[in-house]
Homo-oligomer: A and B are copies of this chain.
Amino acid sequence: MKISLIGSGNTATALSLALKNAGHTIIQVYSRDANNARLLASQLDAKAVSNLSEINTDSDIYLIAVKDDAIAEVAQSLNLYGKIVAHTSGIKEKEVLTSASENFGIFYPFVSMTKGAEIDFSNSLLMLEGSNSNTLDVLHEVAISLSNNVMKVETKQRQSLHLAAVFAHNFTNHLYSISETILEENQLSFDYLKPLIASYFQNLQTISPELLQTGPAVRRDTSTIKKHLELLEGKEDLKEIYNLLTAHIQGVK
């Protein structure tokens, strides 16, 4: 397939390198920063452009991998009727692409991106949507050349995966960060928790988190909960989080 990339960030970089490796031809790379466009295009034997009006119609597929809030604006500057235009966001509706082409869709790789790192998409979940069956079929053909884990989804499924990852990744990280702060205030290292965390993650591989709940909340151990809240005296923000999650574990909220 002939593919053009709009964007030069982590997703655009990782995807375009993987697409080239999979045998596709990258025609153009757009970035509003001409240097970034050149840098990435040079790795792909592609042409760099830094003005949306320079994007030509030589490709079959145009992948928009820019920041979520920039997708609609970029799409409005594109005239690619007859071509397939897809964005890579986990949360934005595909309909923001309506002005760019009647053949619009989603090409969402669910993977943690790091700039420059060559990512192996072969086991990464790739979620697809399409405004019509031909668009979906073409995106599917490209997707299976990258990944063994391709899924045609409804918009709400894709967005729900994105939401679930906020709970399971961003919010959990914040709780680890809170626990690190509590430890450091008591001259203890976060390292002491690592064996516990490692053993938990071993269990999480095969057991549902619903069955792994332990601790004073689920045991309804009120004297321990009371002691914990005493330890958090003066930290109203942490007490609020403690109380809310404890109540929710107990099914009170």
Contacts and interface: CB of A to CB of B under 8 A. Distances in A.
Interface of A: 68-69, 91, 110-112, 123-125, 154, 156-157, 159-180, 182-183, 185-188, 190, 192-201, 204-205, 208-210, 212-218, 221, 223-224, 227-228, 231-232, 237, 240-242, 244-245, 248-249, 253
Contacts of A69: 221, 223
Contacts of A183: 160-161, 164
Given A112-B200, A163-B232, A185-B160, A208 B190 contact: yes
A165 B216 CA distance: 11
Chain A at the B interface: SS class: helix
Given A91-B228, A166-B228, A177-B213, 8 more contacts: A161-B192, A166-B215, A170-B214, A173-B214, A175-B175, A176-B204, A190-B208, A241-B245
A209 B241 contact: no
A124 B196 CA distance: 9
A209 to B, nearest CB: 4
A14 B166 CA distance: 37
A68 B68 CA distance: 50
